[in-house]
Amino acid sequence: MNTDRVLADTRVAILAMDGFEQSELEVPLRYLAECGAEVEVVSLEAGEIRGWHDGEWGRSVPVDRTLDSVEHDRYAALVIPGGRMSPDLLRESKAAVEFVRDFAAANKPVAAICHGPWVLAEANLLRGREVTSYASIHTDLVNAGGRWVDRSVVVDGEIITSRKPDDLDLFCEAIVSKLSSKVRRSVRAAE
């Protein structure tokens, strides 16, 4: 895919906490930025959040904005990386769950990979939707009303889900495709 600035003037939030899967935050951040998007890491607290990689702590990533300082209308889309810890902490946060619900209510893309769909389940966004995730949480997603399938990437309306780090290229392509089609529609509407 030609990633040459197709998302210029588009701002995307990545919502994460300590214990995010390293590649599942860093790869979308880099990929979306290469496509011209302004990408901001949003978390519950200021400072840095620390990744998880191969069973141990990984690199830290600076937090650009705290959740209490932003609204969903600042962003065109939301990305939720996986890892077991970060999504589990996010789904315990009323503010994080509301932030996710706000994106869905505004009909904006919400993309979650690996254990990230746990947050979508907590936000009650999966009922009747086709979804995928890391295999170990498929029962949780089914119990939340989702129709779980074992595919690299699933796009159901504005919800994009993916399974694991091996699927990151397809996950990122799906996010860019969804966002660039929205950008094209808004440009046509303004003409």
Enclosing H/E stretch for 14: strand 11-15
CB distance 78 to 109 below 8 Å: yes
CB distance 74 to 14 below 8 Å: no
From residue 147, give the alpha-carbon distance in Å to each of 31, 52, 89, 91, 179: 28, 29, 24, 20, 24
138 catalytically annotated: no
Catalytic residue among 35, 72, 115, 172: 115
Q: What is the arrangement of strands in the sheet containing 20-21, beginning at the earlier edge strand?
A: 20-21, 48-53, 56-62
114 catalytically annotated: yes
Q: Residue for token digits 């936000």?
A: 123
Tokens of 29: 């951040």
Measure the CA angle with vertex 35, ends 33 and 86; round to 5°: 45
Catalytic residue among 35, 114, 138, 172: 114
Residue 63, SS3 per DSSP: coil
Catalytic residues: 114-115
